[in-house]
Structure 1
Amino acid sequence: MGIRALKLSHPAKSLNGTVRLTGSKSESNRALIIQALSGGKVRIENLSSAADTVTLQHALDTVVAGRLADGEAQQTVVDIGPAGTAMRFLTAYLSITEGHYLLTGSERMKQRPIGILVDALNVLGADVQYAEATGYPPLAIQGGFKQQTAHIRVKGDVSSQYLSALLLIAATLPQGINLQIEGELTSRPYLTMTLDMLAEAGIRHQWEADTISIHPQVASPCQLIIEPDWSAASYWYAMAALAEEANLFLPNLKSSSLQGDAAIVDIMAHFGVASSFEAGGLRIQKTTTHSEKELFDFKECPDLAQTVIVCAAALRRDCAFTGLHTLKIKETDRIAALQNELGKFGVKLVEDGAIYHLQTKGLCNPEQLAFDTYEDHRMAMAFAPLALIFNQVQINEPNVVEKSYPDFWKHLKEQGFVIS
Structure 2
Amino acid sequence: MSHNIILTKQGKTAKGTIHLTGSKSECNRALVIEALSGGRVKVKNLSDAADTVTLAGILNSKVKSENSKTLAGEEAHGPSTIDHGQLINIGPAGTAMRFLTAYYTLQPGEVILTGSERMKQRPIGILADALRTLGADITYVEKEGYPPINIKGGFEQLTREISIKGDISSQYITALLLIAARLPLGLELHIEGDLTSRPYVEMTLAMLKQAGIQHTWTDNVISIENQEFGETALPVEPDWSAASYWYAIAALADEAELFLPGLTSYSLQGDSVITEIMANFGITSQFKDGGVYLTKEVKPIVRKIFDMKECPDLAQTVIVVCAALGHEATFTGLETLKIKETDRIKALQNELAKIGVKLIEKGQVYKLDCSEKFIPETMFINTYEDHRMAMAFAPLAQIVPQLEVEEAKVVEKSYPAFWTDLEKVGFVVEEQKA
TM-score (norm 1): 0.97
Match for residue 132 of structure 2? 122
Q: Is the 8 A contact 2:14 2:258 kept in 1?
A: yes
1:367 Cα deviation from its structure 2 partner:
2.7
Aligned positions of 1:368-383 closer than 5 A: 368-383=378-393
Match for residue 197 of structure 1? 207
Aligned positions of 1:45-194 closer than 5 A: 45-62=44-61, 64-66=62-64, 75-194=85-204
Unmatched 5+ stretches in structure 2: 68-82
1:59 Cα deviation from its structure 2 partner:
1.4
Match for residue 40 of structure 1? 39
Aligned positions of 1:320-335 closer than 5 A: 320-335=330-345
Q: Secondary structure at the match of 2:57?
A: helix
Q: 1:232 aligns with which of 207, 225, 242?
A: 242
Q: Is the 8 A contact 1:16 1:246 kept in 2?
A: yes
Aligned positions of 1:207-356 closer than 5 A: 207-356=217-366
Q: Is the 8 A contact 1:59 1:79 kept in 2?
A: no
Q: Secondary structure at the match of 1:386?
A: helix
Quick one: distance in 1 between partners of 2:58 and 2:235?
Answer: 22
Q: Secondary structure at the match of 1:378?
A: helix
1:78 Cα deviation from its structure 2 partner:
0.8
Quick one: distance in 1 between partners of 2:64 and 2:269?
Answer: 33
Quick one: distance in 1 between partners of 2:425 and 2:9?
Answer: 9
Quick one: distance in 1 between partners of 2:299 and 2:372?
Answer: 25
Amino acid at match of 1:60: L
More displaced stretch, 20-29 vs 6-15: 6-15
Q: Is the 8 A contact 2:63 2:86 kept in 1?
A: no
> Is residue 27 of structure 2 the alignment partner of residue 17 of structure 1?
no
1:74 Cα deviation from its structure 2 partner:
6.5
Match for residue 8 of structure 1? 7
Quick one: distance in 2 between partners of 1:187 and 1:316?
Answer: 27
1:111 Cα deviation from its structure 2 partner:
0.3
Q: Is the 8 A contact 2:315 2:334 kept in 1?
A: yes
Q: CA RMSD in A?
A: 1.4
Question: Cα deviations across residues 51-108 of structure 1 (Å, max 9, x unaligned)?
Answer: 000011111123x242799xxx962111000000000000000011111000000000
Unmatched 5+ stretches in structure 1: none
Question: Cα deviations across residues 313-362 of structure 1 (Å, max 9, x unaligned)?
Answer: 11110111000010000000000000000001111101112111111121
Instruction: Tell me the percent identity.
Output: 59
1:3 Cα deviation from its structure 2 partner:
2.7
Quick one: distance in 2 between partners of 1:284 and 1:83?
Answer: 31
Match for residue 402 of structure 1? 412
Q: Is the 8 A contact 2:8 2:427 kept in 1?
A: yes
Q: Is the 8 A contact 1:269 1:290 kept in 2?
A: no
Aligned positions, number: 416
Quick one: distance in 1 between partners of 2:419 and 2:301?
Answer: 31
More displaced stretch, 353-362 vs 246-255: 353-362
Q: Is the 8 A contact 2:378 2:401 kept in 1?
A: no
Q: Secondary structure at the match of 2:237?
A: coil
Quick one: distance in 2 between partners of 1:365 and 1:266?
Answer: 28
1:17 Cα deviation from its structure 2 partner:
1.7
1:312 Cα deviation from its structure 2 partner:
0.7
Q: Secondary structure at the match of 2:345?
A: helix
Quick one: distance in 2 between partners of 1:417 and 1:291?
Answer: 26
Amino acid at match of 2:248: A
Match for residue 367 of structure 2? 357
1:366 Cα deviation from its structure 2 partner:
2.0
TM-score (norm 2): 0.94
Match for residue 31 of structure 1? 30
Q: Is the 8 A contact 1:15 1:247 kept in 2?
A: yes
